[in-house]
Amino acid sequence: MLPLTKGHYTARIADTPQDIDRAQALRHLCFIANRGLVTSTDADAFDDASLHILVDDTRSDTAVCCFRLMPFTSGATIPNSYSAQFYDLSRLATYPGCMAELGRFCIHPNHPDPDILRLAWGALTRIVDATAVQMLFGCTSFEGADPALHQNALAELTEAHLAPSIWKPG
């Protein structure tokens, strides 16, 4: 399944405590430090229940991308997801297949190489296929408080990526 390599980038499962620390440090940089907030790390209770993926720049051994996947064998445990803190996901309680919550996806701000995103999506696809995940869900953040700044992205999500009404969050 993994590792997966493209050029000087390698996507792999974060399988040591040091790997998890590296992922949390990158998340801190992307989600907290860039906003001028002061905390020591970006860690939460969902980390222990998740599979973490790192994309490393093999030239410098720098973590340039990370994300986590939290598996759900049925919809009955969806209330235990990160997204359920913010959205009513009760319609997913009867979903018959395996699901996974995609979260904390970020790319190092000093590494805007599109190959990083290509490799991360390739790694995600391999994991989803290997584990028979039938539905991915999650929530995302858009920088700032003005939705007009993100009109194109939000229009694309609305046009092509809304869940069928039977599974749509309430």
Give the start-to-end residue ranges of the domains of the chain. Answer: 4-160
> What's the DSSP call for residue 76?
G
> What is the CATH topology of the domain spanning 4-160?
Aminopeptidase (3.40.630)
> Before 3, cis peptide (omega within 30)?
yes
Cα 83 to Cα 152: distance, rounded to the nearest angstrom: 23
Cα 46 to Cα 59: distance, rounded to the nearest angstrom: 31
What SS3 state is found at 139?
A: coil
137: amino acid identity, one letter:
F
Residue-by-residue DSSP string for 4-30? EEETTEEEEE--SHHHHHHHHHHHIII
- pLDDT for the residue 143: 81
pLDDT, one tens digit for every residue, the chain (170 residues): 899 999 999 999 999 999 999 999 999 999 998 777 777 789 999 999 999 999 999 999 999 999 999 999 989 999 999 999 999 999 999 999 999 999 999 999 999 999 999 999 999 999 999 999 999 999 888 888 788 999 999 899 889 988 889 988 88
- pLDDT for the residue 121: 98
- pLDDT for the residue 10: 99
Q: Are 24 and 30 in contact (CB under 8 A)?
A: no
Render the burial of 92-124: b for 16+ CB within 10 Å, e for the rest. beebeeebbbbbbbbbbeebebeebeebbebbb
DSSP H helices in the chain:
17-27, 114-130, 151-160
| Measured CA distances, 10 to 5, 15, 22, 46, 87 (Å) | 4, 14, 15, 24, 34
- pLDDT for the residue 38: 74
- pLDDT for the residue 170: 82
